[in-house]
Each structure stands twice: as C-alpha cells, then as structure tokens.
C-alpha cells in the first residue's frame, strides 16, 4: 500500500513535465504593430510594421503598395531601407506625403549602388530612374524611383538619423 502514493506522485510529476514541454513553440511571439524601430533587433529584415516604417521615415505608404520590404539597422544612428511597388497613379501622393524638400529629378541616383544588398536591391541595373535627397529635423532621406515598368514603379527609400 505504501507504493500507491509513490506511484501517484511519479505520475503527477510525469504529467507536469510533459505539460511543461507541450503546447509551446520555438517561434518568437509576433511583434506588436506599435512602437518605433528601436523596438526591433539591432539589424532586422522585414520585421518593421508599416506603422513603424511610416513613423520613422515620415511618409505614408499607399494601401496599393505591394512587395513591401524593409531592413533596419540600429547603432549610433538608425538606418531604414524600404522598397515597394505601387501603381504609377499613386506615386505623386506618396511623394507629397513625405513633404520632401525638392522634386524627383530624372537620372538622380540618390541612393548609392551598394546600399540595399540586404534586400536584393540592384539599383545599378535600373535604366530609368528619378530621385531626390532630403534632410529635415535630424532625418536624412534618399528616394529613388525605378521607372523601368512605368505602370508599376519600384520605390526605394533610405532614411537615417543624423
């Protein structure tokens, strides 16, 4: 009869250990949609929410944008790279949303060719581009729009704290 309590304790411990290992996941919890880029890892690709991107880069990404990609790096300065496609009709509204000082200029490759390799950017290969550079309130922004597909331009934006 003394064995019954020991068996019951062993079964209870076994169940507790089994439950501790069940139902969990090695996947990290999803990131919240709020906050800013400092809430992300030191370097991260495609983890910034649309709201975080818009807040940091001071732009409004149109709902029609597709293929949204991002890369952020946080160190002494914070750098954000963003690219997406959008219908040509939505490009002027996007540029206005950023209240950039200056206008897109044909042939202006405002982003260095080696920038964006983390996202597969190949700005050297672009044939028809427009770009601009802007600095306001401690934030530098470089914008390059690739118009090789004039109906669905590819937007590349580099934003960094200064």
**Which percentage of the chain shows pLDDT scores above 70?**
75
Provide the pLDDT for residue 4.
59
Residue 2 has pLDDT above 70, yes or no: no
Residue 92 has pLDDT above 50, yes or no: yes
3-state DSSP call for residue 51? helix
Least confident of 19-33, 37-51, 144-158: 19-33
- Give the integer Cα–Cα distance in Å for 140 and 150: 27
Average pLDDT over residues 78-93: 97
pTM: 0.76
CA atoms within 13 A on the CB side of 25: 4
* Per-residue pLDDT reduced to its tens digit, 34-72: 566 666 668 899 999 999 999 999 999 999 999 999 999
């Amino acid at each position: 009869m003394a064995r019954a309590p020991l068996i019951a304790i062993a079964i209870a411990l076994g169940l507790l250990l089994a439950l501790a290992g069940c139902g969990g996941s090695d996947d990290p919890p999803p990131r919240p949609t709020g906050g800013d880029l400092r809430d992300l890892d030191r370097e991260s690709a495609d983890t910034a929410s649309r709201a975080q991107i818009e807040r940091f880069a001071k732009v409004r990404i149109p709902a029609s944008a597709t293929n949204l990609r991002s890369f952020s790096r946080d160190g002494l300065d914070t750098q954000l790279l963003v690219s997406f496609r959008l219908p040509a009709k939505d490009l002027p509204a996007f540029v206005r949303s950023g209240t950039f000082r200056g206008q897109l200029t044909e042939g202006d490759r405002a982003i260095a060719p080696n920038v964006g390799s983390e996202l597969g950017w190949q700005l050297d290969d672009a044939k028809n581009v427009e770009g601009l550079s802007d600095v306001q309130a401690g934030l530098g922004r470089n914008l390059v729009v690739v118009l090789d597909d004039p109906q669905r331009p590819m937007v590349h934006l580099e934003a960094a704290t200064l």
